[in-house]
Amino acid sequence: MACRGSGVQIPLAPRMNKNVNDEREHAAYDFAYVQEKWLPIWDQVQPFKSGRADDTREKKYVLDMFPYPSGDLHMGHAEAYALGDVIARYWVQKGFNVMHPIAWDAFGLPAENAAIKRNSDPRIWTYENIAVQKASMRRFACSFDWDRVFNTCDPEYYKWNQWLFLKLHERGLAYRKDSAVNWCPGCQTVLANEQVVAGLCERCDSAVTKKKLNQWYFKITDYADRLLDDMAQLEGKWPEKVLMMQRNWIGRSTGANVSFVIEGRTEPVTIYTTRPDTLYGATFMVVAADSELAAELVVGTGVETEFNSYLEKIKADSDIDRLATDRPKSGVFLNRYAINPVNGAKLPIWVSDYVLADYGTGAIMAVPAHDQRDLDFAKAFALPVVVVVETGEEDPNTSGVATTGDGKLVNSGALNGLNKADAIAAINSQLEKDGLGKSARNYRLRDWLVSRQRYWGTPIPIIHCSSCGEVPVPADQLPLTLPDAKGLDLKPKGTSPLGAATDWVNVACPKCGAASKRDTDTMDTFVDSSWYYLRYPSSTVHDQPFLKKDIETWLPVDQYVGGVTHAILHLLYSRFFTKVLNDMGMVNFNEPFTRLLNQGMVVMDGSAMSKSRGNLVALSDELEKHGVDAIRLSMVFAGPPEDDVDWSDVSPSGSVKFLTRAWRLSGDVTSAPGADFSKGDVSLRKVTHKALNDAGFAVESFRFNVAVARVMELVNATRKAIDSGCGGSDPAVREAVEAIAIMISLVAPFTAEEMWERLGHKPAVALAGWPAVDPKLLVADSVEAVIQINGKIKERIDVSPTITDAELEALALAHPTIVAELGTNAPKKVIARAPKLVNIVA
RNA sequence: GCCUCGGUACUCCAACGGUAGAGAGGGCAGUCUCAAACACUGCACAGUGUCGGUUCAAAUCCGACUCGGGGCACCA
């Protein structure tokens, strides 16, 4: 009845881009106008400014992963920032001093590649894109504290990358070594292990090859145990999936190092095994073909030619070839023997590429009966297979399947009869006693290769002097800025473009003054992002990377939000940096991110959006069509935040409809601001308080979509109350609509602000405060109880929430339906669970 | 191959071992309108992957299978 009229009569603000005279245009509110209206006002009010000197609120640090400025924001950004905003805005409403900062991860290859294409400077492209993204974020109403912005390509920022590099260098955690490194022929640079995905470059998908180079590394392996063990702190706070991936990546294994005497060599060779219990089953030894040990062992054997051609062959193989599952085993027999320390057996020594040079000691004892790879090798070269663990499975000799389970040891001297665990303990202590070995650990994790042969990154602050060696650039000369890109050929060619900047490269040694050269490589950009979260609280400080006092105030990050693509790389590196800084006494915690939320991706028709697939949805188009609030709402409501959002399943127009319904409510409230809610209609008040309670709980448990559903229910209930219930003048209606505005402000800030104004309040609704939930309004007057017979529901009755088991049981047994069902049979047993259920076992 | 997460209505999502629901969506009807659209109101819509176990009671716990997603992948 009055519903429609009252909505229409509220005078609309003048429209900016619609026909004012179009009377038939319904009172659907004009999102474009509302967006333009509030942005400048928010710029003044600054509701999200954090860390004011007089702020006494408890702190909360909500962090979104910072963007790479590759162009304008896309759908993925929209989702990520919409979700981060829900959390940040919620904590603001709950009365916290929230720091929700943003910056730009601005070094990296795309800028450099764009510069090459346009024959210009990567700086130009980068800063242009940053300006575009920044403007888009403001329009998207991100609740960022804009006073803390920085870019990692600013010398004021990367100065501290260099400073940190030198600190790591001082501590022996940054070092150079010759090694076979991952080489991307597309990007013409080396890659960290973490950047090789299934044998391909994570950036350009080229097949990664190996190259022997001298490169800089960070010694992350020194922290392997701590990176693993400290995950106990994150249990239940980070997605289990991410923890699992990190554990997997670090890949700690326990076993033993065992010495084998080599005929004709004075030094024994140590091998690493996780199954020392199977030592008696070793029938040959395999050495990694590309290891130094192999090169040494082959000398004088007469098989050098064969060995060398084998080495050539495997070098040509890319990682992709190596990953093929059905790859046949290959190798060369070295004509030499090792002696099994426990039984004196002569073990032929082979080289093969299935043993990795950089894991363990690069040499293994082969136990073909109990290791599939060894068995495959033994079969390929007709080597003996000796079973030493009776597992009850078929003999590997005949089945071709190695047995890896537990069982009784056989053919193993003193170990006979023991099970696996006891045998490992026994042999380990025996080996240790005899000085032949000891228990050991190994990790899949390798040191972090940080050198890059590209221009657009942080220059490595080292000077190479022929007499002094690696000399750090003195701290007072930092930042060591990049040379001008002008005149440099940035095209990838396998060595750093910085090498061509001769004025820059040639420098006097800071120690002895001799003519020396700067290191021409730049740092992996993951160095930049490994500590940026520490910079926000002190982003305007220029004589230190961050202030201790600021760190103690704000860190660690309470809530981190970002994509699961960084589950290993960025998160592992950041955890590593934090631990190093903790050891340096610079931070007082050892895990940087207390809680982590990984949002899913935005996909289209089930697959990732991409130009080539032709399923790209432009964020700007969607915003133009439906408005910022509707897109944000659609993202949040589409499902649990961890799940992918399939844009073909969401309905932005449905979001617009809902927002309009909510907004229209604010025009139907006729009571004055400050009305006494306690005098309001109790049934609506109960709905309001339940919604506030449930939505708050849902937000805190990351079920934002459920929170939105609760608000939708409240909107519907309020609509009903206005039209056919207590009416718009009832204070309960004001209470409900104000609660809706506040709850909606987490997702749809423009609509919420507009509602808030129409309700007679001043901006900003973001600071209105989450209304206190009255527990008295959360109890229902009556609840529905079910009566079951043998677990099947027969009746439903309304009962008081305080009914006792006995009363409920009596009611149930007296119910006509139940009496009829039971007939003359007496129930065997009655289970009452007041006030919700009675089950009669008949 | 190994590890891991999941399978509920047309779709996307909910349900302390105890009533399978809410919201969205699409459909139909009514109100309003000259009419339509919008809006409002009402209605209908249909479901726990398979098999077994535990239990008074299983979507929920356990086991097997199956299907789908993700991760790791010659790490000894």
Nearest to A708 by CA among A759, A757, A751, A754: A751
Which residue's C-alpha is at the least distance from the C1' of B39? A4
Strand (E) or helix (H) holding A688: helix A682-700
Which residues are within 8 A (CB) of A496 and not within 5 positions of it... i.e. 6 or more apart? A452, A453, A454, A455, A520, A521, A522
pLDDT class of A319 with cuts at 50, 70, 90: low
- Residue A650 CA and nucleotide B25 C1' are separated, in Å, by 9
At A590 the three-state DSSP class reads coil
pLDDT class of A561 with cuts at 50, 70, 90: very high
- Residue A828 CA and nucleotide B56 C1' are separated, in Å, by 10
**Could you give the percent of chain A with pLDDT greater than 90?**
46
Does the CB of A709 fall within 7 Å of any strand B atom?
yes
**A472 pLDDT higher than 70:** yes
Does the CB of A639 fall within 7 Å of any strand B atom?
yes
**A608 pLDDT higher than 80:** no
Q: In this predicted structure, which of A27-36, A78-87, A192-201 has the lowest mean pLDDT? A: A192-201
Choose from A227-236, A404-413, A527-536, A731-740 the range with maximum mean pLDDT.
A527-536
Cβ count within 10 A of residue A444: 13
- The C-alpha atoms of residue A123 and residue A127 are separated, in whole angstroms, by 6
| 8 A C-beta contact, residue A707 and residue A740 | no
pLDDT class of A821 with cuts at 50, 70, 90: confident
Does the CB of A174 fall within 7 Å of any strand B atom?
no
Secondary structure string (H, E, C) spanning A451-493: EECCCCCCECCEEEECCCEEEECCHHHCCCCCCCCCCCCCCCC
Does the CB of A660 fall within 7 Å of any strand B atom?
yes
**Could you give the percent of chain A with pLDDT greater than 70?**
95
Kindly report the bases of strand B lying within 7 A of a protein C-beta atom: 1, 3-5, 11-16, 18-20, 22-26, 35-42, 56-58, 69-76
Task: Check residue A728 and give its pLDDT.
Answer: 84
Does the CB of A245 fall within 7 Å of any strand B atom?
yes
- Antiparallel, parallel or unpaired: β A451-452 and A837-841: unpaired
Burial class (CB in 10 A: 0-12, 13-18, 19+), A176: middle
DSSP one-letter code for A414: G
Does the CB of A447 fall within 7 Å of any strand B atom?
no
Does the CB of A833 fall within 7 Å of any strand B atom?
yes
Does the CB of A425 fall within 7 Å of any strand B atom?
no
Q: Which residues 474-513 in chain A have a CB closer than 7 A to strand B?
A: none
Mean pLDDT calculated for residue range A30-41: 89
Task: Check residue A28 and give its pLDDT.
Answer: 52
Per the listing, tokens 């290959």 go with A330
- Residue A651 CA and nucleotide B46 C1' are separated, in Å, by 22
Strand (E) or helix (H) holding A783: strand A783-789
pLDDT class of A706 with cuts at 50, 70, 90: confident
pLDDT class of A797 with cuts at 50, 70, 90: confident
Pull the structure tokens for residue A788. 């079951």
Does the CB of A20 fall within 7 Å of any strand B atom?
no
Does the CB of A323 fall within 7 Å of any strand B atom?
yes
- The C-alpha atoms of residue A447 and residue A814 are separated, in whole angstroms, by 75
- Residue A640 CA and nucleotide B49 C1' are separated, in Å, by 22
Task: Check residue A326 and give its pLDDT.
Answer: 66
Task: Check residue A23 and give its pLDDT.
Answer: 29
- Residue A833 CA and nucleotide B57 C1' are separated, in Å, by 12
The CA dihedral of A86, A88, A91, A96, to the nearest 10 degrees, is -170
**A160 pLDDT higher than 80:** yes
pLDDT class of A278 with cuts at 50, 70, 90: very high
Mean pLDDT calculated for residue range A546-562: 94
Does the CB of A8 fall within 7 Å of any strand B atom?
no
Task: Check residue A596 and give its pLDDT.
Answer: 92
Task: Check residue A312 and give its pLDDT.
Answer: 85
| 8 A C-beta contact, residue A687 and residue A714 | yes
**A26 pLDDT higher than 50:** no
**A11 pLDDT higher than 50:** no
- Residue A613 CA and nucleotide B39 C1' are separated, in Å, by 39
pLDDT class of A320 with cuts at 50, 70, 90: low
Mean pLDDT score across all residues of chain A = 87
Mean pLDDT calculated for residue range A168-173: 95
**A362 pLDDT higher than 50:** yes
Q: Which residues 283-312 in chain A have a CB closer than 7 A to strand B?
A: 288
Residue A531 has phi, psi (to 5 degrees) of -140, 5
Task: Check residue A17 and give its pLDDT.
Answer: 32
Task: Check residue A19 and give its pLDDT.
Answer: 32
* Closest nt to residue A792, judged CA to C1': B57
Task: Check residue A492 and give its pLDDT.
Answer: 72
**A664 pLDDT higher than 90:** no
**A538 pLDDT higher than 90:** yes
* Closest nt to residue A256, judged CA to C1': B76
Mean pLDDT calculated for residue range A26-34: 69
* Closest nt to residue A664, judged CA to C1': B39
Does the CB of A791 fall within 7 Å of any strand B atom?
yes
Higher pLDDT, A794 or A105: A105
Task: Check residue A642 and give its pLDDT.
Answer: 85
**A779 pLDDT higher than 70:** yes
Amino acid at A76: G
User: pLDDT digit string (tens) for A334-358?
Assistant: 999 999 999 999 999 999 988 988 8
Which residue's C-alpha is at the least distance from the C1' of B56? A841
Task: Check residue A143 and give its pLDDT.
Answer: 94
Does the CB of A359 fall within 7 Å of any strand B atom?
yes
- Residue A455 CA and nucleotide B52 C1' are separated, in Å, by 63
**A588 pLDDT higher than 60:** yes
